Amino acid sequence: MAMEIPTELSAALASRRAALLERARGRVLDIGQVGLADADGHYDTVYSFVRAPGEADLDAYITQIRELLTPEGIAYFLEPTIRTGPLGRALGIGGRVVRPLAGFHLDRDIPQVIRRAGLFITDLHRFEIASVAAPFRPFVEAWARVPTISRSEPNEP
């Protein structure tokens, strides 16, 4: 059963999605078009647009994305996330003020899971979409890479 996101969410994200798609380089994997199970080899660009809510094991999902990236590759995430700051803490302590939606996992900190999978986040933008149901409002756009080791040149006499 495919995950169906609200139509107004797709419309609200259209310009961000288009801007990220323009950044593609090299071999590209759009997980919305080709599932991770069908991915083969390594990719220079990997897109995950509103895929995380349908993943029961988000850690495994992000780890698999990391394993598909070339050493210089980049992954773009456009995903619902939990709120941060005082409101996020209050919701975490007092429970969610909205009822959960069947089949969607919307109570996770996406940047934290990306970092836990061993990716380095180079850009992170948190924003809210006011025109959608409350559980889908907090969003994150994150760009992540496989960490690289800097090599310093030895001092020559």
pLDDT digits (tens, 9 = 90+) for 28-68: 999 989 989 899 999 999 999 999 998 999 999 999 999 99
Band (pLDDT 50/70/90 cuts) for residue 152 is low
Q: Percentage of residues in the chain with pLDDT exceeding 70? A: 76
CA 71 – CA 91 distance, rounded (Å): 38
Beta-ladder partners of 78 = 49, 141
Q: How many residues does the chain have?
A: 157
Q: DSSP states of the chain as a string?
A: ------HHHHHHHHHHHHHHHTT--SSEEETTTS-GGG--S-EEEEEEES-GGG-S-HHHHHHHHHHHEEEEEEEEEEEE----HHHHHHHHHH--SSPPPTT------HHHHHHHTTPEEEEEEEEE-TTS-GGG-EEEEEEEE------PPPPP-
Does the pLDDT at position 154 exceed 70? Answer: no
7-76+106-145: CATH topology: Rossmann fold (3.40.50)
The structural domains of the chain, with segments of one domain joined by +, span: 7-76+106-145
